Amino acid sequence: MTIQTIPTQPFNDQRPGTSGLRKKVSVFQQPHYLENFVQAVFDVLPDRAGQTLVLGGDGRFHNRAAVHTILRMAAANGFGKVLVGRKGLLSTPALSAVIRKHGCFGGIILSASHNPGGPDGDFGIKYNIANGGPAPEKVTEAIFARTRVIDEYRILSAETTIDLDTLGIQTLGDMVLEVIDPVADYAELMEQLFDFDAIRAWFAAGGRMRFDAMNAVGGPYAHALLEGQLGAPAGTVINGEPLEDFGGHHPDPNPAHATELIALMSGQHAADFGAASDGDADRNMILGRHFIVTPSDSLAILAANATRIPAFRDGLRGIARSMPTSCAADAVAAALGIPCHETPTGWKFFGNLLDAGKVSLCGEESYGTGSDHIREKDGLWAVLFWLNLLAVSGQSVAALVRAHWARFGRHYYSRHDWEGIPSAQADALMAALRAQLPTLGGRDCGAGLCIEQADDFAYNDPVDGSLSTRQGVRLIFTNGSRIIFRLSGTGTEGATLRVYLERFEPDSRQHELPAQQALAELIRIAEDIAAIRAHCGMQAPSVIT
Ligand code: VG1
Ligand code: CO
């Protein structure tokens, strides 16, 4: 076995987005493409010699091939040890848990999350640091800078076979390779956070649940925890087998893509509780019988009820939400007398707040919820949190949500995605919006909606002082309603415009409206001010959640 130094040339499109580098599989299959990026990651980690790395992915097409390449590169770059999930699998939250439990140097996740997989689908790669969380912007920018000038990478010659299917230790050159059970450390952590006895009793008393793993990496975790440790009947988990192409579906747990589960939960034989997770199992969708919980509400409800689960018996230190996430969590934080931080989109912005002990719970409107137990959002964790609440309250999902609205008011919320816009047109739309900002403050838009503040969100990290600008155009109305515009940083084809709409309704007699109806005026104003149809040449958003 020899260490080879391979000459290469830079690719100019390797800037990580909201969550790592995501491209079509065919882009990653170009000679040297993955290798360049991995070497760039290693090059910005000068103190890597002898360190332990964690590696795993969501099992999508190209996962195994990429794991082999990265292992040979890690061995050639002086790492002491790599922990890799069996079959190359690790969910994003499980990888975070493994890094933290074993005090590892960092980790590499292979996933394009909720994006479709398969030979014509997407692939992705993300680096996580020693706290278990996504590398912060200064690291991802350094990686990008390195990809622009890279001229060689190091890799072990290919003659050794690597066995990813057998647990235990093998060697690869001078490096130790340990194949670990992808579920064990994660399951052990979950058991420390929740009241498993109460949840077991809920299932034993006939509580019925459907968990849709969407043929993604969440399946083995859900099988082991729900049907294994917690005694849920077999069949509780559907689509539980990870497939390289996710069965041809978008592994995206929202009402637009998790249609099988939505149909099950709206039918006559609907279970009491429904949930789903995404490609890498860090997202969650929560459903009751004939009832959909928005992610922003879910965060607020978990916060309001946190002391009912063992992990938060002593209360919360603070909450953080991404800027476009609704202000429902802010209302809870105010009632609890704790701070609520507002960060840019993407989990990497929560890491510092969590490490500094400033917040205990975090969430995003995009079906992401998590806590200080790891440094990633965590799909199954949110599901167990809800199960624990159902078990100790004896209430239904809908009853818990309605009681929450009655106490705190309801934040009607929706996100409209306009997908597949040619990038130049999307950029022009955002530029035109930004150009209008100085004239929008104070504008009366009719229907009692007057813009109080119009700006481009910037975030000054209170822990390390770093500044992130241009994080989304905000229109904030005098009655607290908000419209936010930003472009997606996770897509692989053209641009996606995300329009986030929010309206606060304190009157409990007005809490049962369909969201699109409650938000109709805001939708009109958003489309009008941004001239969406004219810029995009589309007549309607492609996905509404
Ligand atoms: C989207 C979501 C964002 C989330 C990110 C990664 O980003 O809006 O809230 O953190 O995906 O989630 P964007 O830039 O496309 O809006 V995942 O589960 O894809 O890692
Ligand atoms: Co994900």
Cβ(345) – ligand 1 distance below 6 Å: yes
Tell me how far apart the alpha carbons of residues 488 and 536 are, in angstroms, rounded to a whole number: 15
Protein residue with least CA distance to atom 20, ligand 1? 113
Tell me how far apart the alpha carbons of residues 196 and 433 are, in angstroms, rounded to a whole number: 50
Q: Strand pairing of 467-468 and 459-460? A: antiparallel
Which numbered atom of ligand 1 lies nearest the CA of 347? 10
Q: ipTM value of the model?
A: 0.98
Cβ(128) – ligand 1 distance below 6 Å: no
Same CATH fold assignment for domains 3-182 and 410-544:
no
Cβ(545) – ligand 1 distance below 6 Å: no
Cβ(106) – ligand 1 distance below 6 Å: no
Query: What ligand has the least distance to the C-alpha of 366?
Result: 1
Closest CA to 321 of 290, 278, 362: 362
Fold of 3-182: Alpha-D-Glucose-1,6-Bisphosphate; Chain A, domain 3 (3.40.120)
Cβ(19) – ligand 1 distance below 6 Å: yes
281: its two tokens: 């199992």
Tell me how far apart the alpha carbons of residues 322 and 468 are, in angstroms, rounded to a whole number: 13
Protein residue with least CA distance to atom 17, ligand 1? 113
CATH level 2 (architecture), domain 410-544: 2-Layer Sandwich (3.30)
Burial class (CB in 10 A: 0-12, 13-18, 19+), 204: exposed
Is a pLDDT exceeding 90 seen at residue 511? Answer: yes
CB 313 within 8 Å of CB 432: no
Closest CA to 15 of 351, 376, 490: 490
Q: Quick check: is 393 catalytic?
A: no
Mean of pLDDT values over 188-205:
98
Is a pLDDT exceeding 80 seen at residue 477? Answer: yes
Phi-psi map region of 315: left, alpha, beta (phi>0 left; psi -120 to 50 alpha): left
Closest CA to 83 of 175, 4, 3: 175
CB 190 within 8 Å of CB 381: yes
237: its two tokens: 């988990």
Mean of pLDDT values over 45-51:
93
- What is the per-residue pLDDT across 306-321, written as a single tens digit (0 to 9) for each? 999 999 999 999 999 9
CB atoms within 10 A of CB 9: 9
Q: Which of 19, 96, 113, 488 is catalytic?
A: 113
For ligand 2, a single-atom ion, which residues have Cβ within 5 Å?
A: 113, 278, 280, 282-283
What DSSP designation does 233 have? Answer: P
- DSSP string over 374-420: SSS--HHHHHHHHHHHHHHH---HHHHHHHHHHHH-EEEEEEEEEEE
Which residue out of 15, 19, 500 has the highest number of ligand 1 atoms within 8 Å of its CB and is therefore the one to mutate?
19
Helices (H), ranges, 29-91: 33-43, 63-76
What are the residue boundaries of the structural domains of the chain, listed by start? 3-182, 186-408, 410-544
Q: What is the average pLDDT value for the chain, to the nearest integer?
A: 96
pLDDT at 217: 98
Confidence of residue 202 (pLDDT cuts 50, 70, 90): very high
Is a pLDDT exceeding 90 seen at residue 418? Answer: yes
- What is the per-residue pLDDT across 250-294, written as a single tens digit (0 to 9) for each? 999 999 999 999 999 999 999 999 999 999 999 999 999 999 999
Cβ(347) – ligand 1 distance below 6 Å: yes
Protein residue with least CA distance to atom 13, ligand 1? 488
Fold of 186-408: Alpha-D-Glucose-1,6-Bisphosphate; Chain A, domain 3 (3.40.120)
CB 21 within 8 Å of CB 146: no
Q: Is 170 helix (H, G, I), strand (E, B) or coil?
A: strand
